[in-house]
Structures are given as C-alpha cells and as structure tokens.
C-alpha cells in the first residue's frame, strides 16, 4: 500500500520530551491510542482516552515489567500484511486490530553504562519488548510507520501535519531504515559491554553520527566522518573541515596532549610535526616551534594546550596556516585570528578518551590498543658508562614524545623544550638521521649538545657514529638489537650517554 491512513497508534516511550505536540496532532486526526505504564498516564493527563495494552493481551505487566507487549494481540496488529488475504482472515479470526503507527524508544542502556551503573541496573536496561516492537514495525514498513527515537519526533510531526495523518511507502521505508540503525547500534553497545570480559574475537563498531565531507584524501575520493565533532570542538571561524584537515587535527591534539602540565605548541604537516616546543608562555613556545621549520609551517595545523592571549595571537597571525586549536582564546586574540575568513579556529572542549584504534586492511579490519605509553624517567635504563645529565634527561624525554607521534622510521633531534629537526617516514634509520641533520643545518641549528631519539633500536652502530660526528651527546632508544653492544661500545669510546626504554614506538 503506497499511502496509508494512520488510525491506531501504539506509543510506549522512556523519554517523553517533545512528545506532547505529537499526541495532540494524532488526537486531532482521530487516531486511537494504545499504550502502557507511564506513557499511558502521560496521554491520559493530556485528556485523551487510551486502550491499555493489558486490555489487548489479557495479561498485566509481569516479572517486574519485563513482559508487557510480547503477545500476538500486539505483534499481530503490527506484523500482519494488509494485502495478504490469509493474514487479513487470521487477524479477523483472532480479533486482532491493525496498528499503523508505532512510537517506541529503548531503555537507556548506553547512558547507564557511561554513568557507571551497577551490573544489575545495566542488565535491566537491556530492552526486550521495545526493540522487538521496533524490529517488527520496521520489518512491516509496507503497512506500518515506526518511530524509534525521540530525535525523530520532529520529522514525525512534520509528516503528520503535511500529509494530514497519512504516510507514503517512501516515508515508512525511510523511518524503517532509521529504526534498524537504532536497533543495530543498541545491540552493538550491549555486545561491547559483555565483551569487555569475554573478549570474543568479533569486531563491532557503531557510530550514529555522520558528516559527508567535500571529498576524501583526494578530490576523486568520497569521504565521510563518523563521530561527534561538535562534542569535541567549537568551531569559531573558517571553512568546513576536510578529510585531510581532520587527519592532521587528530595528529596535532594527540601530540600536544603529551605535554600535560607544560605550555606546549606543535605545528603539524601531513600528520608529522615540523615544529614542537615548550615555553614559559604560548608566544615563546610558538616562536620556538616555528624556528624548527619556517618553510613547512606554511599552511600547517597548529595546536597548543593553553589559552591563547593577544600577544601570542599577534605572532601567530603573521603566519598563513590552515587550522589553529587551543582550549580557549582571549577575546582580543580571537578577534585578530578571525581576520582571515577561511582560517579554521577550533576550541577543544574535552580531551580524547579513545583507547583503541582500527582501520580497514586487506579484506577486513585491523584493531589495536592506542600507544598510550609515554616514556618517563622510571623507564630509562642507562646503557653506557656515562649517564645523561639532568638537562639531557629532560631533552631525551621531550624528544621521545615527539618520536612516538612521527611516522617510522624516524629520528628526532632536540634540546630541552625544542625540536631541532626530524627525519620521518624513511625506509632506513640512517636515512632518517641524515634527513634530520640536513634539515637542522638548513634552519641554522647547531647540534652540539643536542640529543637524539629513535622510535626503534639501532641494528648497527652507524647512527650513533653519525650522531657523534655532528655533536650529539645523548641518545634515547628502545634497545633490543642483537648488536646493541656495538652501539654501546662506540658511545663509551666517545663519552656519549645512551639510555634504553624497552619500549618501541613504531607508527605506520
């Protein structure tokens, strides 16, 4: 049936926000109400008669409310096919009246888990009757309109008013698709909760919010972001974020969060840092970060972990950049930074909380724990006769944080509080070191007294040999090569300090 008049509606919802206008509209169109419990009381208080579900089923709500609607008198009215003669005949035989509209939401399972509810409370929030009603009505979209979440109330009200209580097949099919989105997400959430303990090798991820991007990594590729960007950022200025913008923003905020308790500034280009520094204030940190690569910073993604004041904004504003991220902005600073219409200004409202990462690969998905390990003083195991001085230890840990967020193979050269250069994404660790040394020289840095960080061990002593020839005096690396002793021996011969962490930080 293409166009169907709604004559009878089953309404049973947990959330009653914005439900009242729908009840009034349905009543004005002569629709009969069937309901249960609190929703029945809600409708009756608005002055409209309701047929209790118990009257249809002949059973009261039993087992503490676990069984209310699971009965042929309810599900038959939803599922019987109006154009199938046998279904119509059976409906008459068993006195089953049609239900044309089902408005049902689900118990707040996810919300209860997030709030840290007791297991018994969480289990009771696993909806049985509601999800069955939604699935049944969605399956029979040829005859029944299903509204499965309060976020759909506005669309339902508009439909009722614009089509005078009728629904078309296209309408019902669209609401059915939304219903299966709701039920599949709900089931995925329940599985995820149980699988925290069981660890079944099954991958499920469900995100109900999606935003179509202008394109993907390149203009000929389509792109969509799934997630709640508005929950993470307030966008204060600029054009819409692109696929590549989002990738770089992710890299920037993951790196800058390594410097908790310090004032840090990072400049990202194609997910790698071209400048990182800490300082007494944002302006100082920015200027130090910018020094590391004044060329690549052009068009970069900038991030700091502190509120940006006018003084810092005046310096930053002289650079052409794509995006700036900070936890906040002084009013005068924001006004200045917004002077460029397309410049994207983001205020980060909350930290990232994900503990896993995954991506499509071959004919499946690969998943792993995020690398949340930050090397600390307690991880450092001196490997050489000379131990690093206090200021070298600070510089080594600083460089290691950057190394962790840089594409492998990587080498990072730094002094305390300032990255001097890095070699990124090289097939050889020696090539990464040579790239870093050349880059440091290009931007006028001397490496005398600098430190070197590597994301993985040195299979040969060549890297420490090259580093020493350019004045580097301390090294941090995971260790673990069968030829570690060769690198250690060279460092000892040339009074270099080297520490092992035992932690590799590959990033591909």
Other beta carbons within 10 Å of 398: 27
Whether 269 sits among the annotated catalytic residues: the reply is no
Give, in degrees to the nearest 5, the angle at Cα 118 between 112 and 121. 60
Helix (H, G, I), strand (E, B) or coil at 279: coil
Whether 92 sits among the annotated catalytic residues: the reply is no
User: Hey, CA dihedral for 299, 303, 304, 309, is it positive or negative?
Assistant: positive
Q: Is there a contact between 499 and 464 (Cβ–Cβ < 8 Å)? A: no
CA distance 32 to 320: 63
Of the residues 270, 338, 434, 494, only one is catalytic, namely 270
DSSP conformation letters of 341-365: TT-EEEEE-S-----EEEEEETTEE
Q: Is there a contact between 33 and 126 (Cβ–Cβ < 8 Å)? A: no
User: Hey, CA dihedral for 140, 141, 143, 146, is it positive or negative?
Assistant: positive
Q: Which residues pair with 51 in a beta bridge?
A: 34
- Tally DSSP H helices, then E strands, for the chain: 19, 23
Of the residues 16, 24, 139, 340, only one is catalytic, namely 139
CA distance 68 to 11: 13
CA distance 142 to 173: 8
Q: What are phi and psi of 411, to 5 degrees?
A: -130, 135
The answer for 262, left when phi > 0, alpha when psi is -120 to 50, beta otherwise, is beta
Residues 6+ positions from 163 with CB-CB distance below 8 Å: 171
Q: What are phi and psi of 331, to 5 degrees?
A: -55, -45
CA distance 351 to 337: 23
Identify the H or E element spanning 277.
strand 272-278
CA distance 450 to 160: 71
Active-site positions? 139, 270
């Amino acid at each position: 049936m293409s166009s169907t008049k709604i004559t009878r509606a089953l309404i049973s919802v947990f959330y009653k926000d914005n439900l009242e206008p729908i009840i009034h509209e349905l009543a004005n169109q002569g629709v009969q109400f069937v309901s249960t419990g609190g929703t029945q009381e809600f409708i009756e208080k608005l002055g409209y008669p309701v047929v209790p579900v118990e009257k249809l089923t002949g059973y009261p709500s039993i087992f503490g409310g676990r069984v209310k609607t699971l009965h042929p008198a309810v599900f038959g009215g939803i599922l019987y096919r109006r154009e199938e003669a046998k279904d119509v005949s059976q409906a008459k035989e068993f006195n089953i009246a049609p239900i044309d509209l089902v408005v049902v939401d689900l118990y707040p399972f996810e919300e209860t888990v997030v709030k840290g509810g007791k297991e018994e409370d969480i289990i009771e929030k696993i909806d049985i009757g509601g999800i069955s009603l939604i699935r049944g009505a969605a399956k029979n979209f040829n005859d029944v309109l299903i509204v499965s979440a309060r976020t759909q109330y506005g669309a339902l009200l508009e439909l009722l008013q614009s089509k005078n209580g009728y629904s078309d097949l296209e309408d019902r099919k669209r609401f059915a698709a939304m219903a299966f989105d709701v039920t599949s997400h709900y089931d995925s959430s329940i599985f995820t909760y149980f699988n925290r303990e069981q660890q079944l090798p099954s991958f499920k991820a469900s995100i109900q919010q999606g935003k179509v991007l202008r394109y993907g990594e390149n203009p000929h590729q389509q792109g969509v972001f799934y997630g709640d960007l508005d929950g993470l950022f307030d966008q204060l200025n600029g054009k819409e974020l692109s696929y590549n913008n989002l990738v770089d923003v992710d890299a920037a905020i993951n790196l800058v969060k390594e410097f908790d308790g310090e004032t840090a500034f990072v400049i990202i280009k194609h997910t790698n840092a071209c400048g990182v520094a800490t300082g007494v204030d944002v302006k100082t940190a920015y200027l130090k970060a910018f020094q590391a690569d004044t060329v690549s910073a052009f068009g970069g993604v900038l991030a700091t972990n502190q509120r940006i004041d006018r003084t810092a904004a005046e310096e930053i504003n002289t650079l052409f950049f794509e995006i700036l991220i900070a936890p906040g902005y002084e009013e005068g600073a924001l006004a200045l930074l917004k002077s460029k219409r397309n410049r994207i200004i983001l205020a980060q409202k909350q930290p990232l909380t994900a503990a896993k990462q995954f991506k499509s690969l071959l004919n499946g998905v690969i998943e792993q724990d995020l690398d949340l390990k930050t090397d600390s003083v307690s991880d450092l195991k001196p490997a050489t006769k000379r131990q690093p001085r206090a200021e070298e230890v600070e510089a080594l840990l600083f460089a290691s944080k950057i190394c962790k967020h840089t594409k492998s193979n990587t080498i990072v050269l730094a002094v305390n509080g300032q990255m001097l250069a890095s070699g990124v994404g090289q097939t050889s660790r020696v090539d990464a070191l040579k790239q870093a040394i050349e880059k440091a020289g290009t931007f006028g840095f001397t490496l005398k007294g600098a430190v070197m960080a590597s994301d993985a061990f040195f299979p040969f002593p060549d890297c420490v040999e090259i580093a020493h020839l350019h004045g580097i005096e301390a090294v941090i690396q995971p260790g673990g090569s069968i030829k570690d002793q060769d690198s250690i021996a060279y460092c000892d011969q040339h009074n270099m300090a080297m520490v092992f962490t035992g932690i590799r930080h590959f990033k591909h």
